[in-house]
Amino acid sequence: VASRNPPTLLISIGPGVHERMGSIKDTLTNIREVKEYIINMVTEQLGEAMYRSSASVEPEKNEFELAGVTVQNGKVLNVPAILEAPISIELKLDQIIPVGGDYLVLGKVECVQIDEAIYAGNYKIAVDKWKPLASLAGDFAGLMPAFSYGQKGT
């Protein structure tokens, strides 16, 4: 989260793990051209698909097909979302900031879709039901078990 008001998210896009510095990923090119994008928050079950979607392929290759996921349009924006992702965040590009060989991409949140199965109410996610997956520069990690500080019973 880069800002809560207006709701703005930040992602960092650099060259792929096996690409040379100075190369630009299709993700960044698409965001620059379309000015809208979706961040799909995946689960451990979608790890293999996420890995396949990050392959360095020619721009004309369909990475959704390579990943074996179902594409749907966003609820508000006309950009592709992944049906299987339990959280999809639709964003309009605010700015792109070059930092070294990478780019910080700031996007204003237009819509958030959350699968009811992982929604805990009161603007919270049931992390133990979601089982999010983190991408760590070529490696991956689950974030379980979840825990809290300073709450009764913890």
- Domain limits, the chain: 3-142
Residue 62 gets which letter from DSSP? -
Q: Domain 3-142: give its CATH code.
A: 2.30.110.10
More confident residue, 44 or 96: 96
- The answer to whether the beta carbons of residues 134 and 143 sit under 8 Å apart is yes
User: Per-residue confidence at 95, pLDDT binned at 50, 70, 90?
Assistant: very high
* Cis omega (within 30 of 0) for bond into 6: yes
In contact, 46 and 133? CB cutoff 8 Å: yes
Residue range 79-94: average pLDDT? 95
pLDDT in tens, 119-145: 999 989 998 899 888 877 778 888 777
Distances (CA, A) of 24 to 18, 20, 67, 102: 12, 9, 20, 9
